[in-house]
């Protein structure tokens, strides 16, 4: 069974979780500062704060991964268009590519000499 804190964190929205992470980082900083100045009476709170930061960061990363998986599952559905639609989408790209090749293929010398004459020299 999940810890009550984890259940509470999972119920939060992404924005609220991000704010909670920022607050947890700030609390950890303060605890470390108190420990360095010998003002911290219970040093175990530093470890608890670190675990809280890790727990929140893990939940945020988990949501990122799920969003990426959802996006990748939607992408193949879009790729499975009928062949006629794909051909229509590819047609303008093919025409422009062919036009570029014909212009780039004109490597005739500017002075009117043929290529065979160049090789003899």
Q: What is the pLDDT of residues 76-115, one digit of tens each?
A: 776 765 655 555 555 555 554 455 554 555 555 556 555 5
What is the domain-level CATH number for residue 33? 1.10.287.310
In this structure, is residue 102 part of a structural domain? no
Residue 107 lies in a domain: no
Tokens of 18: 């991000």
Binned at pLDDT 50, 70 and 90, residue 63 comes out as: very high
Q: Distance (Å, rounded) from C-alpha 53 to C-alpha 67?
A: 21
User: What is d(CA 101, CA 14) in angstroms, rounded to the nearest whole number?
Assistant: 50
**Which residue in the block uniquely carries the two structure tokens 């996006």?**
71
Domain residue limits at 2: 1-79
If you search the block for the tokens 């992408």, which residue do you land on? 75
Q: How many domains does the chain have?
A: 1
User: pLDDT tens digits, residue range 13-27?
Assistant: 999 999 999 999 999
Inside any domain, residue 95: no
Output the pTM of the full model: 0.61
């Amino acid at each position: 069974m999940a810890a009550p804190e984890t259940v509470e964190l999972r119920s939060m929205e992404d924005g609220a979780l991000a704010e909670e992470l920022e607050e947890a980082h700030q609390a950890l900083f303060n605890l470390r500062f108190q420990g360095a100045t010998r003002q911290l009476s219970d040093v175990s709170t530093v470890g608890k704060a670190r675990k809280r930061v890790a727990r929140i960061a893990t939940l945020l990363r988990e949501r990122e991964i799920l969003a990426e998986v959802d996006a990748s599952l939607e992408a193949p559905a879009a790729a499975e268009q009928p062949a006629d639609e794909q051909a229509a989408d590819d047609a303008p790209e093919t025409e422009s590519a062919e036009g570029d090749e014909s212009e780039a293929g004109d490597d005739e010398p500017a002075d009117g000499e043929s290529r065979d004459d160049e090789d003899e020299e």
